[in-house]
Amino acid sequence: MPENLENLLVERDGAVAIVTVNRPKVLNALDSPTLDELRRTILALRHDAAVRAVVITGAGDKSFIAGADINELAQQSPVTGRDHAMRGQHVLDLIENLGKPVIAAINGYALGGGCELAMACTMRIAADTAKLGQPEINLGLIPGYAGTQRLARLVGRGRALELLLTGDQISAQEAHRLGLVNRVVPAADLRAEARKLAVALASKAPVAARYIIDAVNKGLEMPFPEAQVFEATLFGLVASTEDMREGTRAFLEKRKADFKGT
């Protein structure tokens, strides 16, 4: 794991890594150093084959991530604002395409850049006390970590425009109804539920998981016929893995498969 992390906690629990954004005094707002720590951590997790699933959460019980740090935004110029947005987009792209499942455990406010980060994760589990939204418009801003794009893709254009233009915070239950989060659980159970899901996902065939994430993420940005060819090519590629042999053999031998990621 990267050294000298000041604003992130990174724990290992078997094949699961748990990354906690740890700036509770500012509700875990993302400033530039924190964003850079996330970048370094995600890259390290990508290259660590022993890590098969990741959970991202926020410190404390009040907030997941309350957005980009507004102290920095208040100072930005056109040039630094553009650079900042592109750096954030890059980090979220790394999360989205980590090649292993990343679960956002949304333990409170997921606003602005926090909601954008959650949307870049593979799945989202929210505490029943969580609040989500894109309040940038209330600051005279717009999302800059690709929130306009991911939100519209996740919940549809009309609902995305409503959330973006009102800047309203919505409840976890409403976010679930819209398809913005996958599951809502009692706040006290969030950590355990996120871990349980991460452990379950970590037991699956790693190469197949990577290709599924790739097929969905990249395929959605391609014309349908090309996306089908892409899927078929990945389907052919998994045939070369030891895990495919193990998975099919285990089924026929009526036992649980033991996937190695090869």
| Residue 77: strand, helix, or coil | coil
Q: Using the rule CB under 6 A, is 248 a contact of ligand CO8?
A: no
Q: Using the rule CB under 6 A, is 58 a contact of ligand CO8?
A: no
Report the nearest approach of ligand CO8 to the CB of residue 88 (Å): 5
Q: For ligand CO8, which is the closer residue by CB, 58 or 135?
A: 135
For 39, residues 6+ apart whose C-beta sits below 8 A from its C-beta are 87, 90, 91, 94
Q: For ligand CO8, which is the closer residue by CB, 25 or 47?
A: 25
Structure-token pair, residue 246: 């193990």
Q: How many residues bind ligand CO8 (CB under 6 A)?
A: 25
**What does the alpha-carbon distance between residue 157 and residue 190 come to, in Å, rounded to a whole number?**
29
What x/- string results for residues 200 through 239 when contact with ligand CO8 is judged by CB under 6 A?
A: ----------------------------------------
H or E stretch including 41? helix 32-47
Q: Using the rule CB under 6 A, is 29 a contact of ligand CO8?
A: yes
Owner of token pair 């036992």:
255
Report the nearest approach of ligand CO8 to the CB of residue 70 (Å): 4
For the chain, the farthest-separated pair of C-alpha atoms sits apart, in whole angstroms, at 63
For 247, residues 6+ apart whose C-beta sits below 8 A from its C-beta are 205, 257, 259
Select the residue interacting with ligand CO8 from 8, 22, 92, 135 (CB under 6 A).
135
**What does the alpha-carbon distance between residue 41 and residue 113 come to, in Å, rounded to a whole number?**
18
Among 16, 90, 30, which Cα is nearest to 8's? Answer: 30
Q: Using the rule CB under 6 A, is 120 a contact of ligand CO8?
A: no
What x/- string results for residues 66 through 105 when contact with ligand CO8 is judged by CB under 6 A?
A: xxxxxx-x-------x--xx--x-----------------
Calculate helix-pair angle for 78-96, 113-120, nearest 10 degrees.
30
| Residue 72: strand, helix, or coil | helix
Q: Strand 170-171 relative to strand 131-133: parallel, antiparallel, unpaired? A: antiparallel
Report whether 96 contacts 154 (CB < 8 A).
no
Report the nearest approach of ligand CO8 to the CB of residue 58 (Å): 11
Q: Using the rule CB under 6 A, is 27 a contact of ligand CO8?
A: yes
- Show which residues are catalytic: 116, 136
Report the nearest approach of ligand CO8 to the CB of residue 252 (Å): 50
Taking contact as CB under 6 A, which single stretch among the options 46-54, 141-149, 188-196, 207-215 is the one that binds ligand CO8? Answer: 141-149
Report the nearest approach of ligand CO8 to the CB of residue 47 (Å): 27
Q: Under the rule (CB under 6 A), what is the footprint of ligand CO8?
A: 26-27, 29, 66-71, 73, 81, 84-85, 88, 109, 111-113, 135-136, 139, 141, 143-145
